[in-house]
Structures are given as structure tokens and as C-alpha cells.
Chain A
Amino acid sequence: MKSEILVQCEHLTKIFPGKKALDDVNLKIGRGKVVGLLGPNGSGKTTLIKILNGLLQPNFGSVMIDATPIGTYTKSQVSYLPDKNYFADWMTVKDIFDLFSDFYADFDRQKALRMCDSLGIGEGDRIKSMSKGTKEKVQLILVMSRNAQLYLLDEPIAGVDPAARDYIMGTIINNYADNATVVISTHLIADIERVLDEVIFLKDGRIVRHETVDELKAQEGKSVDEVFREEFRMGEVR
């Protein structure tokens, strides 16, 4: 019997030279949710996601995914979309599909092929010759073709045009595994608000709000985007 809590952080703290990126973060995320990890640039979103992926080690505190400390098991259960392009130049689409098939038992190659096919991308296509946007789409296809327990998507819609945003959001919402949780980090709230079940507001490395979208709307009588803008309003320069 699996625990209802999928992600649990206790007193999580990460300090970089001259900056506390995460400050005593306590967090529980359940299963089967779409969660918005929201905050302005430098609020600690990417740091939290990197810790959940094992790319960074916290200075203090603990993290568990599926009741297991971060390690090879949790990595096999997490599907991660970084805000960087991680392909090697020498690879073709087939090479990267082979790699995912070899290392992730939950990778659905046929699904990935169908999604690439719909974009006119073939298995023999070289990554090197693709545009930045196509590389990002292939990376998203790989991530969403896994039947993972947790999807961690770091700024998936940052820096893309509105049409591409629709494609990205559609791909995410239509393809995540049953009972899986999707964590989307962004500061572009309006584009993802409609798909969110829960929101986490991160400010200066601390969680200032964590509630369901319905609760937030009932309390504030405003959209998530409006509440976000109020919460993170900066002094205007005149």
C-alpha cells in the first residue's frame, strides 16, 4: 500500500555562498495532483527541483519521494524536464530513445514515436540539426512518455511563443501517468492556472502559501495570477 504522500521535505535548507536559496522548507505533496511551484526569479524554485532530482544536496533537512530518500530508486520514479537542453550533439532521436529505453523501465517508446511523428520528427533525425524549439519539444516528449510517479517540469513554458505554450501544456496534461503528480515551476501563472490543482508560492526560499486552487480562490475571491501579482508586487520605479 503506497503512502498518500508522494513528496515530503522537512526543514529543507540550501545555502549558496552569500545566499540562502531555500530556508527551512517543510512540504508535503500528495499523489494525482497538478501542482504549480510559483515564485519570481531567484525564489528557489529551481533549487528545490534540483534537490528533488538529486542534482543538489541540501545543507540541512531531509527529502523523501515515495517514502524513500533521494537515490537511484527515486530517480527511476521521477521524470525531469530541466530548463536546459541536455542532449549530446552526436545523438540522433533513435540514440536518445534507446538511452531512455535502456535506463527507464517506464519509458513508452511507441508513445514517444507517435508524438514525434505528429511533429514530423523521425528517429533518424540528428539532434544537432534541430532548432532550439524542436529540441525542447523532443525533450518534453521524452519526459512525458514515461509512466513516472512524479513529473518535475522546470520552467517548461518560459521563453516560448503562445502557440508553442499551447502545445507544451497540451502535451503535459494529456500525457502524464494515472495517479502521478506533476509539479510545474513557473512565473507565468496565467498560462497554467487552468490546469492546476494546488499552488505553492515560494518567496526568498520560503514557502509563503501552499493550498488548493479552490481554497485560494474561495479565500481571496481572485484568480491565482492576481493573488500572485499582489503577493510578489515590487515597488514601482518612477
Chain B
Amino acid sequence: MTGKLMKYEFRSVFKQIGVIWAALPAMAILASFTGWIYARSALAQENDQLLGALLSRIPMFLYVGLFIALVVATLFVVVMRFYKGLLKEEGYLMHTLPVKEWQLIASKGVTATVTVLISMVLAAVSIVLLNLVGNLSGILYFLQATGETVQRYPESLLYCLEALLVVLAGIMTEVYKIYTSLSIGQLMAKHRMIWSVAAYIGIGVVLTLLGSMLLTAFGHPIMLISDRIFTDFSYRQIVQTVLGTAFVYFAVQIAIFHVVSERILSLKLNLE
């Protein structure tokens, strides 16, 4: 059932943000192409430089606009798919489906995390694509060098995979923090969004305090051996310890946020 819920979440997300996902890399290629054309033609026709510069910049302006739209739309989708989907009118449909509350939350959490990841990857790819035309050899060289590095150090692929998992866990932590804030905000009779923002800030303060306490508790012993870390431990051990610790840190937060959101929506659902 969670898979079926995710199918509808993804369908909803694609309908809302799919156009921007498709348009951003396309506009990056166009901006790269027009920039390249301008660079070549401007040398030949110096009298038309101003007009040419303006025309060649239009795709770039559109690209920047789309980039901003991508950031805003991604944040909007993450918040609104939970808020409108579970806490407003649509909640009358979703909460009466024969599924558990945790499945509703998990399906939205996973979908939102993947949505943010796709937006981040597309943003990065589009920046590379901006330099595509006229600089293809440079990009190919970069890809070739990356391939050679992987061949020489196969374990680097494992590190990348581990790093990706940590990034995903980090994104999911933020997503769940938003969900918990919205769940707390819906408990109020009025001004639910304001209360949700207040809850988000409050959770942030609590986490910062907890982080400081953990740093105080564990930071000192680490400082004591800091001068020996790079001699007593291999790079692999250091990298894996850092990544593993970060993953556990995020996973614990996700579990806590999930349980808190699930309990609130199961016991204190307050649909408008």
C-alpha cells in the first residue's frame, strides 16, 4: 500500500514541478548555445555588439528565472503535499483510505526526499550544461578523469554511494522536520501556518542545544587524539567513521520526527 501511495505522490509532484524539471536543462543548453554564437559573431560584427549581447542574454535571464522557480517550487511541493494532502480538505480522502498513518507520512517523506534530490541533481547538471557548447572537450576530459580515478581507486565508488546515502538522510531529516512542525501547527485552532513556523524554529533551537551538548561530551576526547588521527587511522577509517556518524545522527532524527508526526496525526488529527 505504501508503494501505491507513493505512486500518487510522484504523479502529483510530476504534474506540479515536471515542467520546470524539463525546462531547466533545456534552457541551460539554449543559453550555452546562444552565448557561444554571440562570442563568435561579436568578433566579426562589432557594430551589433549591444543588440547581440542583449539577445544572447535572454536565454540566460530565463535560465536564472527557472533556477529560482525550481528552488521555490521544490520547497513549495515539499510543504504543500503534506499540508494540503493530509491537513486540509484532501485529508478527508487520505485519512479514510485503508492504510496506516505511518504509511501516509512515509510515502510523502520518501517522495519529497527524492523530489529534492532530483531538483538538486538537475540544478547541478544544468550548471554544467551552461558550459556545454564550445567547451565539450573540457567536460569530456572531466568525465574521463573521473572514470580513470574510479578505475584506480575502486573504493571511491563506495565512498560516493555512502556520501549519497548521507545526503539523502540529511534531506529526509529536513523534510521530516517540516512535517513535524506542520503536525504541531495543525493542533491549533487558528493561524496554523504561523504556529508551524514557530514549531520549526523551536525544533531548530532544541536541536542546536542538543548538538552543543553532544559536542561538549564527545568533542573533548576527540580533540585529545586529534594530532594522532591521521597517523593512527587510515583515510578509509576516517571517512567511513565521519559518514557513518552523520548517517546515524540523521537517522535518529528521522525516526524521532516520524514517530512524533505519526502519533500527533493518529491521536490528534484536527482537519480543517
Contacts and interface: CB of A to CB of B under 8 A. Distances in A.
A57 B130 CA distance: 55
A73 B96 CA distance: 11
Interface stretch (B7-15, B25-33, B106-114, B217-225): B7-15
A228 interface: no
A103 B267 contact: no
Interface string A86-130: 111010000100010011100000000000000000000000000
Interface string B1-24: 100100110011001100000000
Given A88-B84, A99-B8, A55 B92 contact: yes
A111 B200 CA distance: 46
B102 to A, nearest CB: 11
A62 to B, nearest CB: 15
Interface in B47-96: 84-85, 89-93, 95-96
Nearest to A82: B92
Contact of B12 (A56, A84, A86, A90): A90
A140 B97 CA distance: 16
Given A55-B271, A57-B267, A95-B11, A88 B96 contact: no
B99 interface: yes
A80 interface: yes
Nearest to B272: A84
A72 B93 contact: no
Contact of A72 (B15, B84, B100, B266): B100
A85 interface: yes
Given A55-B269, A55-B271, A99-B8, A86 B97 contact: no
A86 B8 CA distance: 15
Contact of B96 (A17, A80, A85, A90): A80
B15 A90 contact: yes
A86 B100 contact: no
A97 B41 CA distance: 56
Contacts of B1: 103
Query: Interface size class for chain A?
Result: 20 to 34
B98 A75 contact: yes
Contacts of A85: 89
Interface residues of B, number: 27
Given A72-B100, A103-B97, A88 B92 contact: no
A76 to B, nearest CB: 4
Given A72-B98, A88-B84, A102 B92 contact: no
A85 B189 CA distance: 20
Contacts of B8: 95, 99
A73 B98 contact: yes
B95 A103 contact: no
A152 B257 CA distance: 33
A153 to B, nearest CB: 13
Interface string A9-43: 00000000100000000000000000000000000
A17 B267 CA distance: 15
A53 interface: yes
Given A84-B89, A99-B8, A72 B96 contact: no
Contacts of A95: 8, 11
Contacts of B98: 72-73, 75-76, 103-104
A88 to B, nearest CB: 5
Contacts of B271: 55
A85 B271 CA distance: 13
A87 B12 CA distance: 12
Contacts of B11: 90, 95
A61 interface: no
A78 B12 CA distance: 26
Contact of B269 (A56, A90, A102, A103): A56
20 contacts: A53-B96, A54-B96, A55-B271, A57-B266, A57-B269, A72-B98, A72-B99, A75-B97, A84-B89, A86-B89, A86-B91, A87-B93, A88-B12, A88-B84, A90-B12, A90-B15, A90-B16, A99-B8, A103-B4, A103-B99
Closest 10 CB pairs of A and B: A76-B98, A86-B93, A86-B92, A75-B98, A82-B92, A90-B15, A72-B98, A84-B89, A102-B4, A103-B97
